[in-house]
Amino acid sequence: MSGSLQLICLDLDNTLWDGEQTLRHAEATLAQWLCQRFPQHRAELDCIRMRERRLALIEQRPQLRHRLSALRQLSLRQLLRSFGCDRKHSRLGAAAAFAVFLNARHRITLYDGVEPVLAQLAQNYRLASLSNGNAELQRLACGRYFEFSLRAETLPHGKPHREAFAAVQHRAGLVAHEIVHVGDDPTDDVQGAKRAGCQAIWANFDDRIWRFGAPHPDVVMHRWRELPALVNKLSGDPR
């Protein structure tokens, strides 16, 4: 390791892989599984209608906003109860349905360059992840490069709250300026990290213009292959 930078903390969905595409596939897989078991309720198992159910639940229970696994399981239990299932069978059915979703949710395709870049970075820096989603890195092959992985649903607060980044600092045993956070979301990833005292790299894969005010990212990454040089630059490493 060189300079003061010790840890690279990475967001997951839409930073390592296409999160929207992954979730669309997982939700379609879940809907198909449910339709096979409840064909008479096919109209209610449309992905859009099930998403509307979850959004309505968040309105009723804002604390579930960053508890995505709990949110989805509660929504499924309520759905099955509406189909006439009793409490026991709605609980068991929701657990089985969520397992189907979660398995499909981990069928990801990394963006080009992610695997070799992670391998390269892991030679010189510690790697961790901080995500508001419910992907579990230990279920993925790329997880072997990471020292640890934190998810909002296991923390008191999600990004952009300062406490989410403080959890990374505490777990790593580092201070904020020794960490750079890499992510696609201007608010959750960039501004959250900066306000917590960390450095921030904006993963801007679709060449957006920064229109989000201060604080700004330290540097911008447009392609994964750019990341090692950007990290070395922030670390003061001339390589």
User: The CATH number of the domain where 36 resides is what?
Assistant: 1.20.120.1600
| Residue 76 placed within a domain | yes
Q: Write down the pLDDT at residue 238.
A: 52
Instruction: Give the pLDDT confidence of 32-55 residue by residue, as tens digits.
Output: 999 999 999 998 999 999 999 999
Contact assessment for residue 214 and residue 40, using Cβ atoms and an 8 Å cutoff: no
pTM, full prediction = 0.92
Strand-pair partners of 183: 202
Question: Tokens 């198992």 correspond to what residue?
Answer: 45
What the block records as the tokens of 91 is 């609980």
Band (pLDDT 50/70/90 cuts) for residue 3 is low
Residue ranges making up the domain that contains 84: 20-105
Identify the CATH number of the domain in which residue 181 sits: 3.40.50.1000
Residues 47 and 62 in one domain: yes
| Residue 146 placed within a domain | yes
Instruction: Give the pLDDT confidence of 181-234 residue by residue, as tens digits.
Output: 999 999 999 999 999 999 999 999 999 999 999 999 999 999 999 999 999 999
Cα–Cα distance for residue pair 186/160, rounded to 1 Å? 10
Band (pLDDT 50/70/90 cuts) for residue 1 is very low
| Residue 194 placed within a domain | yes
> Can you tell me the mean pLDDT for 75-80?
96
Residues 231 and 168 in one domain: yes
- CA 149 → CA 105, 119, 172, distances in Å? 17, 16, 11
